[in-house]
Chain A
Amino acid sequence: MRKFKALFIVMLKNTFNLLDGRTKRSKLNKFMGLFLVVAFMPTLFSLYMLAKEGLFMLLPIQQEGLVLSLLFIALSSVTFFMSIFLVPAVYYFSKDSETLLALPLKPEEIVLSKFCLSVVYEYLTTFLLAIPVLVAYVQVMNPDVFFYVKVLIILLLSPVVPLAFGAIIIMVIMAFVPFFKNRDLFNYASGFLALAFAIGINVVVGGTASLSQEKLLQMLTEGNNSLLAIFRFMFPNLPFAIQSLVDGSWLSFILFLVITALVVLVFLYISKIVYFIGIIGVNETAAGRKQLNLKAYQKETSTKGALMSYFLKEMRLMIRTPIYLLNNIATAFILPIIFLVSIGGNVGGEEELSTFIKSIDWTNPDLLLMVSFAGLALGLMMSTLNLITPTALSREGSNIFFMKYIPMSYVKQIQAKILSGLVVSFFGILFSLIAAVVILRMHPIVIILILVMSIQGMIFMNYLGMIVDLIRPKLVWEQEAAAVKQNLNAAFTMIPAFALSFLPFLLMKYLPNNWFTVVTIFVLFSFVNWMLIRLTTRMSITKLHELEV
Chain B
Amino acid sequence: MIEIKNISKTYSGQVKAVNQLSLTVEAGEIIGFIGPNGAGKTTTLKMMTGILNPDEGEILLNGINIQSSPLKAKQQFGFVPDTPDIFLRLKGIEYLNFMADIYDVDENTRRERIHKYAEAFQMTSALNDKILSYSHGMRQKIVVMGVLIHSPSIWILDEPLTGLDPQSAFALKEMMREHVSLGKTVFFSTHVLEVAEKLCSKVAIINKGALLYFGSLEQLKLDHPNASLEDIFLKVTQNA
Q: Which A residues fall within an 8 A CB radius of B?
A: 285-292, 296-298, 300-306, 308-310, 312-313, 316-317, 320-321, 398-399, 401-402, 404-409, 545-546, 548-549
Given the interface pairs A288-B128, A401-B81, A545-B53, the reply to whether A320 lies near B104 with Cβ below 8 Å is no
Tell me the chain B residues, 191-236 only, with Cβ under 8 Å from chain A: none
Nearest opposing residue in chain B for A316, CB measure: B90
Chain B stretch 65-122: residues in CB contact (< 8 A) with chain A: 71-72, 74-75, 79, 81, 83, 85-87, 89-91, 93-94, 96-98, 100-104, 106-107, 110-111, 114
**Contact status A290-B125, CB under 8 Å:** yes
- Identify the closest chain A residue to B129 (Cβ): A287
Is B98 touching A309 in the complex (CB atoms < 8 A)?
A: yes
Closest to B86 in A: A399
CB pair B97–A309 under 8 Å, yes or no, is yes
Task: Answer whether residue B52 sits at the interface, using C-beta atoms and an 8 A cutoff.
Answer: yes
Interface residues in B117-159 (C-beta closer than 8 Å to A)? 124-130, 132-134
16 extra interchain contacts, Cβ-Cβ under 8 A, other than A296-B128, A313-B90, A399-B85? A285-B130, A287-B133, A290-B125, A290-B128, A291-B127, A297-B111, A301-B96, A301-B111, A303-B101, A310-B98, A313-B87, A316-B90, A404-B49, A405-B79, A407-B102, A548-B52
Which chain A residue shows the least CB distance to B138? A287
- Measured CB to CB, the nearest residue on chain B to A286 is B133
Instruction: Report chain A residues within 8 Å CB of B71.
Output: 407-409
13 A-B contacts, Cβ less than 8 Å apart?
Answer: A285-B130, A296-B128, A301-B110, A304-B97, A306-B104, A309-B102, A313-B98, A317-B87, A399-B85, A399-B86, A399-B87, A405-B50, A405-B79
Q: Kindly state whether residue B5 has any CB partner on chain A within 8 Å.
A: no
**Shortest beta-carbon distance from B59 to chain A in Å:** 13
Known contacts A291-B124, A316-B89, A321-B89, A285 near B106 by CB under 8 Å: no
Asked whether any CB of chain A lies closer than 8 Å to the CB of B15, the reply is: no
Q: How far is the CB of B141 from chain A (nearest CB, A)?
A: 14
Count contacts on B: residues with CB < 8 A to the other chain.
44
Check if B107 sits within 8 Å of A302, measured CB to CB. yes
Contacts of B83 in A (CB 8 A): 398
Q: Which residue of B lies closest to A322 (CB)?
A: B89
Q: Closest chain A residue to B81 by CB distance?
A: A401
Specify which chain A residues have a CB less than 8 angstroms from the CB of B106 in the assembled complex.
Answer: 303
CA–CA, A312 to B93, complex, Å?
Answer: 14
A-B complex: 6 closest residue pairs judged by Cβ atoms: A287-B133, A309-B101, A407-B74, A320-B89, A287-B129, A405-B49
Interface of B with A (CB < 8 Å)?
46, 49-53, 71-72, 74-75, 79, 81, 83, 85-87, 89-91, 93-94, 96-98, 100-104, 106-107, 110-111, 114, 124-130, 132-134
How far, in whole Å, are A310 and B100 apart by their CA atoms in the complex?
11
Nearest CB to that of B132 among chain A residues?
A285
CA–CA, A407 to B64, complex, Å? 13
> CA–CA, A302 to B94, complex, Å?
10
Q: How far is the CA of A283 from the CA of B46 in the complex (A)?
A: 31
Residues of B within 8 A of A406 (CB): 74, 102-103
**B87-A407 in contact (CB<8A):** no
Tell me the nearest residue of chain B to A407, going by C-beta.
B74
Q: Is B93's CB under 8 angstroms from A292's CB?
A: yes
* Given contacts A301-B111, A306-B102, A306-B104, A405 and B74 within 8 Å (CB-CB): yes
C-alpha spacing A43/B46, complex, angstroms = 46
Residues of A within 8 Å of B128, CB to CB, are 288, 290-292, 296
A317 touches B111 (CB 8 A): no
Partner of A300, one of B72, B74, B93, B134: B93
Asked if residues B79 and A548 are in contact (CB atoms below 8 Å), the reply is no
Considering the chains assembled together, what is the distance between the CA atoms of A402 and B50 in angstroms? 10
Q: In the docked arrangement, what's the CA distance between A308 and B100, Å? A: 12
Would you call B129 and A288 a contact (CB within 8 A)?
Answer: yes
Is A297 touching B93 in the complex (CB atoms < 8 A)? yes
Cβ B49 vs Cβ A310 within 8 A: no
Q: How far, in whole Å, are A398 and B84 apart by their CA atoms in the complex?
A: 12
Looking across the interface, which residue of chain B has its beta carbon closest to that of A318?
B89
A306-B101, A309-B101, A316-B89 are known contacts. Are A285 and B50 too (CB-CB below 8 A)?
no
**Nearest neighbor of B49 in chain A, beta-carbon distance:** A405
- Do the beta carbons of A310 and B102 come within 8 Å of each other? yes
Chain B residues, CB < 8 A from A545: 53
When A301-B97, A405-B74, A549-B51 are in contact, do A289 and B125 touch as well, CB less than 8 Å? yes
Chain B nearest CB from A43 CB (Å) reads 36
Instruction: Please report the C-alpha to C-alpha distance between residue A166 and residue B91 in the assembled complex, in whole angstroms.
Output: 35
Give B48's nearest chain A residue, CB to CB: A405
Question: Which chain A residue lies CB-closest to B11?
Answer: A548
Q: Which residue of A lies closest to B152 (CB)?
A: A407
Most chain-B Cβ atoms within 10 A of its Cβ — which of A297, A313, A398, A399? A313
Q: Are A317 and B86 in contact (CB-based, < 8 A)? A: no
Given A285-B132, A287-B126, A288-B128, answer yes or no on A404-B87 (Cβ-Cβ < 8 Å). no
**Nearest chain A CB to B52 CB, angstrom units:** 5
Report the minimum CB–CB distance from B96 to chain A (whole Å): 8
Residues of A within 8 A of B94 (CB): 300, 313, 316
Chain B residues, CB < 8 A from A316 = 89-90, 94
